Structure 1
Amino acid sequence: MDIAITWNVREARGDWPIVSGDLALDNPLRSAVMVSLFTDRVAPDQPSSDDAAVGIQSPTGPTGSATADRRGWWGDAFADLPIGSRLWQLRRAVKVGTRAIPREIEDICSEALQWLVDDGVASSVTVSAWWNPTVRTMAEFSITITEPGNSTPQVFKFSWAWEGLT
C-alpha cells in the first residue's frame, strides 16, 4: 500500500486524506499515476507541432516572469528524465474542433506514464481522452495499465477542466 492521493478537480490540486488520524492508504499504482500526471513537468523550450496545434506556445517574457516560467521540479535538473506531466500547459490551450485537445491529453499522459513501461512496472499503458458530453469545458480521460503477469488491467479515470474555455 501507498499513501492515498485524492484529486480535487475544481481546485486542480491533490491532497493526502486523513483517516482516523493517519494518512489514508491506497493502491500504489494509482499513487504513481497521480504523481506522474499531476506533478508539473518542465515545459520544453519549443512546443511540438501537436502542442502548437492547440495553442501551446513556448514560455516567453523576461527571466523570472510568470510568462517565462517553464515550471517543473528543481530536482529534475539532476535527472535523466523529468517527473510529472505537461497537463498544466493545457491551461494555455485553445479549443479548436473536437479532437485536438483530447489527442494532446493522450500524448501528454502517455509521455508522463512511459516510465512505468520502461521500468517494468507495467507491460502496457493506454490513454483515451474525450470531451465530457454535458460539460463543454471538461475533458475526461482514462488510463489503462496492464502489469506484467496480470491479464486484468487497472483503469483509472480523471477529469480536467478549464476556466473560460468556450
Structure 2
Amino acid sequence: MLVALAGIIFPILPGSPVAIITMIAWAWIIGSTASWATGIVAAALALMGWSASLVLTGRTMRRERIPNTPILIATAAAIVGLFVIPFFGIFIGFALGLFGAEYYRRRDAMAAFRSSLEALKAMGIGMLVELGCIITAIAVFGVGVLIHFLTAA
C-alpha cells in the first residue's frame, strides 16, 4: 500500500492499480468474509479515485485543447529531470517540458503558459483526489485487517 501511495505522488509506478491488485490479492489469500468485504470496498475506493483523476485531467486537457503529444514530451522531460535533479526534478522537468511543448505548438508564450498552468492544476487536483481515495482505502484496509484478526481469534 505504501508503494501505491508513492506511485500516486511519483507517477513512476501506477499507484491505484497497485492498490487494487493488493486489496484483491489480500482478500483472496485470507479468504474470510471480512477480508473480501474489505478488499472489495477498498478496491472500489481506489478505482473511484483513479477514475476521477483520469476524468478531471482529461476534461481539462480537452477544454484547453492540449493533445497527447505535449503530455508525452513533458513525461519524457520529467524522467530526464528525475536524474538531473533528484526528487524535485520529476516535477520541474514535467512543467518545463509541458511549457516547452505548448510553446512550440502555439508559438505564443502567454497562451502556452496559461494552458500549461491549467493542465498542471488539473493534474494536481486529480492527484489529490486519487491520493485521498487511496488513503481512505488504506484506512478501510486497516479496519478490515483489525476486524479479520479480532473475529478469527
TM-score w.r.t. the length of structure 1 is: 0.27
Greater relative contact order structure (CA < 8 Å, 6+ sep) = 2
Larger Cα-atom Rg: 2
- Bigger share in strand: 1
